[in-house]
Amino acid sequence: MMAKPKPQRDTFLEALRAIVSISKPYHQGMADDATLTSRERWEASATKALRGASLESLVNTTLDGIEIAPLYTRAAVAHLRGDEMPGSGSFRRGGTANATATGWEMRQTHHCGTDGVNSAILDDLEKGITAITLKDVTDVDLLDVVLDGVHLDMVPIHLAPGSRGPALRALMALWERRGHDPAEMSGCFGVDPVATLARRGWLTHSLDDGLATSTTFAIRASDTMSGIAVYDIDGTAFSDAGASDAQEIAAVLSGGVRYLRAMVEEGLAVETAARQLQFSISVGPDQFAGIAKLRAARQCWARIVESSGGIPTARGMYIHAITAYGMITRHDPWVNMLRTTTAAFAAAVGGADAITVTPFDSGIGHPSELGHRIARNTQSILCEESLIGAVVDPAGGSWYVEDLTSKLADKAWTHFQAVEARGGIGAALLEGSAQSAVAGAVAERHRRVATRADGLVGTSEYPTLDEVAVAIPSSPSAPVPGDDAVITCEVLMPRRWSQTFDELRAVAAAASEPPTAFLANLGPPAVHNARATFATNLLASGGVRAIDGTRLDDTGLDDTGLDDTDAVLSSFAASHAHAAVICSSDAVYSQRAAATAAALKAAGCKWVLLAGGPGESADALRASGVDDFIHVGCDVVEALTHLHGAIGVAR
């Protein structure tokens, strides 16, 4: 008698017991590695649970090429010092050793030119936000209206990274108009000519001239405005365009070195100059990657300040963490609430000094009142209810986080050295090498998203075609340099990770007839259901609705008594679809797939897909009428693009 296979739950429990046996010495007081002999037991259990796949199949690789192992032990961090305190040493554990009840500075971003902005700012400040970031500041009169009722001596005002002269002058003029002493103000002027160049593609002055002007201003500000930072070095200009974590860190390090060096060369002490710098860094939906990213950035910056002669107390890095724009999806935008919550959590655990949560509906257009409310309350809950700010470096000591921090810092430092060898991030933008590096990361991320190795829930995975349609704004075009442009470069255009799927959905929605594809299910539900469900979700990610017209029972007959081939053809004709997906098991495919494909083609089907890998019979199946194969790991964007073209959905 054949032995009854073990339920998957039992296999999982075996692997779990092996993991617990490894962890047990740690909970007993960090016993030495000689007691951790049960790793071999875990490997044996894991190999058994994988049913033939290797342990290497559990290893994931980040966009920066860092391998993420399935299991970590103390050996992964044996090379790291374990006696460091936050606010000292490498600074990876945090900028300070002091936990505070107020946690971090909770910021919200507002555009000065939008209707009701003043009411929105006051509402934010009344309900938990502690600082404001302003975009599109043009003159003091506008700023006075926007900040009407805001106590400037109590609320830090930050100009958005990349702000220019008119915005700076407007803010200082408003202080004077309201009788405030600049020495009592707090916030940031948001100066970063390099980020402006990256986002706009041109400047009305050379980088050297801009640096000289901002350096002079920073030196004056250090004497008269001690609570204001002049520079906000904007890593999001790179991450929004698709840069990897290490590339973004390298860009802000290079920008920081440029501004720090210029101020020190003009006579400022390193410690004073370092206080003029803030860093805006994005945090994505992977909480461990986000935690490690901020820790790695601090570690690298501390090394730079130390090499510049800065005393230990000056080596901390003021980080303004912003939940990543790229991860925001337009379809099923409610899922963005989960993404931004995870990112904000990671930023807080990673030791951010300030956090801005991107509203969940910002991918659709200007954020709604609800979007601002959810963004605000996300931070409030994390800070005031979860009390994350009351613990310094809660992830410290995690073998995984420490290893990832160390490897990401190494990758970022390597990128930083390469950028500096080219003359700095500004020079790299002007010559195009920075854009080329980002383009490489974009291509790799596109591959991961297109193959759904990196799934986007609600967009590439589990999309909902019946959701209320949202207005999808057209993609922004690259800014056109003005006649007064002195230097130009290729623009780093913002790009959301879901963009290709959004484009497919938009094209499908604009079609004269809603695109459909018929599910040619062979055999009873137990045989075809898994692949039919897979195909339904894949098709929906491109705006194509699946039509399941067969209702086969366990005998392989539909409710009219037709066998599956006749039922498929009859239902296909009734569906009026121009495409079909054959769904069943490999065993049924070997007997029926070729004949079914040929019959569908003969019945007028323009495009026949088969749900499953091509296998050895790919050529024979193609010869019989199968046009493409959809399966786990396939390029979904490419498959849907071909499908759209075949059934007349124009792009």
Is the confidence at residue 16, as pLDDT, over 50? no
State residue 474's pLDDT score. Answer: 60
State residue 37's pLDDT score. Answer: 55
State residue 553's pLDDT score. Answer: 58
Is the confidence at residue 110, as pLDDT, over 90? yes
Mean of the pLDDT values across residues 560-571? 72
Q: What would the pLDDT profile of 201-237 be if each residue is shown by its tens digit? A: 999 999 999 999 999 999 999 999 999 999 999 999 9
State residue 505's pLDDT score. Answer: 93
How many other CB atoms are there within 10 angstroms of residue 397's CB atom?
A: 13
Is the confidence at residue 4, as pLDDT, over 50? no
Q: What would the pLDDT profile of 381-435 be if each residue is shown by its tens digit? A: 999 999 998 888 999 989 999 999 999 999 999 999 999 999 999 999 999 999 9
Confidence of residue 552 (pLDDT cuts 50, 70, 90): low
State residue 155's pLDDT score. Answer: 97
Strand-pairing partners, residue 563, are: 557
Strand-pairing partners, residue 283, are: 323
Cα–Cα dist 539/523, whole Å: 21
What is the distance, to the nearest Å, from the Cα of residue 558 to the centroid of all Cα atoms in its chain?
46
- Which conformational region is residue 347 in: left (phi greater than 0), alpha (psi within -120 to 50 degrees), or beta? alpha
Is the confidence at residue 482, as pLDDT, over 50? yes
Q: What percent of the chain has pLDDT over 90?
A: 74
**Euclidean distance between the first and the last CA atom of the chain, given in angstroms as a whole number:** 58
Please tell me the pTM assigned to this model: 0.90
Is the confidence at residue 492, as pLDDT, over 70? yes
Q: What would the pLDDT profile of 587-620 be if each residue is shown by its tens digit? A: 999 989 999 999 999 999 999 999 999 988 999 9
Q: What percent of the chain has pLDDT over 70?
A: 90
Confidence of residue 551 (pLDDT cuts 50, 70, 90): low
- Domains of the chain plus CATH, in order, are 8-58 (no CATH), 105-420 (3.20.20.240), 504-646 (3.40.50.280)
Mean of the pLDDT values across residues 7-30? 43
Confidence of residue 39 (pLDDT cuts 50, 70, 90): confident
Q: What would the pLDDT profile of 257-311 be if each residue is shown by its tens digit? A: 999 999 999 999 999 999 999 999 999 999 999 999 999 999 999 999 999 999 9
Q: Is 306 exposed, middle or buried (0-12, 13-18, 19+ CB in 10 A)?
A: middle
Is the confidence at residue 19, as pLDDT, over 70? no
Mean of the pLDDT values across residues 493-504? 95
Confidence of residue 78 (pLDDT cuts 50, 70, 90): confident
More confident: 35 or 340 = 340
| Joined tokens for residue 247 | 């590339």
Strand 187-191 and strand 131-135: the pairing is: unpaired
Confidence of residue 557 (pLDDT cuts 50, 70, 90): low
State residue 101's pLDDT score. Answer: 61
Confidence of residue 334 (pLDDT cuts 50, 70, 90): very high
Average pLDDT of the chain, as a whole number: 89
Q: What would the pLDDT profile of 428-454 be if each residue is shown by its tens digit? A: 999 999 999 999 999 999 999 999 999
What single letter denotes the amino acid at residue 496?
R
What single letter denotes the amino acid at residue 22?
I
Mean of the pLDDT values across residues 84-113? 85
| Joined tokens for residue 396 | 């410290």
Confidence of residue 44 (pLDDT cuts 50, 70, 90): confident
Mean of the pLDDT values across residues 483-500? 94
Distances (CA, A) of 141 to 21, 43, 189, 349: 67, 68, 18, 40
Residue owning tokens 């100009």: 159
Is the confidence at residue 21, as pLDDT, over 50? no
8 A C-beta contact, residue 519 and residue 535: yes
Three-state secondary structure string covering 508-537: HHCCCCCCEEEEEECCCHHHHHHHHHHHHH
8 A C-beta contact, residue 438 and residue 487: no
